[in-house]
Amino acid sequence: MNSIPVITLDGPGGVGKGTLGRLLARDLGWHLLDSGAIYRALALAAQRAALPADNAVALSELARTLPLSFRGGADETHVLLAGDLVDAEIRSSEISALTSQIAAIPAVRAALLQRQRDFRQAPGLVADGRDMGTVVFPDAPLKVFLTARTEERGKRRLNQLMEQGISASLATVVAEIAERDARDQQRSVAPLRPASDARLLDTSEQSVSDTYRVLQSWVQSAFQEN
C-alpha cells in the first residue's frame, strides 16, 4: 500500500482543510478522506445512544461497529450514519465539542486507525484531519499543516453557522474554538501538531484561490522530486 501516494492536510478547524482537500482531490482525480467526519459521526452516534463521553469501552466498541458510509465524490461528499444523511447534524457546535472529547480517548483512536488507512487506494489519497501526517500516514510524500489566527477562524465558523440558520456570537464561537484547540493539542495520544517534515501554511490573510495556488506548487514540486 505504501506505493500509493498520500497528501496529508492537517490543522485545527477553520483553516480551510476541507475546501482545499476537496479541490485537490478533484483536480488530481484522487480519493478524499475527511477524517473529521468519521469522528463527528461517531460523536453523533454516541449522543444518539446516550453514551457518556468518558465511557472508553463502549465508545471504542461503537467505533469498531459504526454504521458509517460516504456518498458522492471529491466535489461533494455526503456522510451517512445507519443510512441517514447527517451532514448538517455532525457540524453543529454541540457535536464539535463532543467530538473533541471523544477523539482524546486512545482506545477510540486505535479503533478508527485502520478504518482511515483503508481509504488509501489507487491512484492516490488526499487526507484531511488533525493527525494524518503524524500518525495515520506518516510516510506521506507531502504533508501540509495549515494554520490561521483564532479570530479569523471564528469569523469563518460564524459565517457557516449563519448560512445554516444558526445564531451565535463571534465571542462564543472564538471561545469554543480556543477550547477545542487546547483539548486537541494537549491530549495524550496523537496531539494536534505538525509532523516534523510538514510544510506550514498560514491561511489567515489568503483567499482560497491564493492558498490553493501555493498548495498546487508544493504538490508539483513534491511529486516531481519523488
**16 annotated as belonging to a binding site for a ligand:** yes
User: Residue 165, SS3?
Assistant: coil
Give the integer Cα–Cα distance in Å for 110 and 117: 12
- How far, in whole angstroms, is CA 222 from its chain's centroid? 22
**18 annotated as belonging to a binding site for a ligand:** yes
How do strand 68-72 and strand 77-81 relate by DSSP bridges? antiparallel
**133 annotated as belonging to a binding site for a ligand:** no
**Residue 84: C-alpha distances to residues 14, 18, 49, 92, 111 (Å):** 26, 21, 15, 16, 22
Residue whose C-alpha cell is 492536510: 9
Give the integer Cα–Cα distance in Å for 219 and 7: 8
Give the integer Cα–Cα distance in Å for 91 and 13: 11
Amino acid at 77: T
**19 annotated as belonging to a binding site for a ligand:** yes
**15 annotated as belonging to a binding site for a ligand:** yes
Annotated binding site: which residue ranges? 11-19
Annotated binding site for ATP: which residue ranges? 11-19
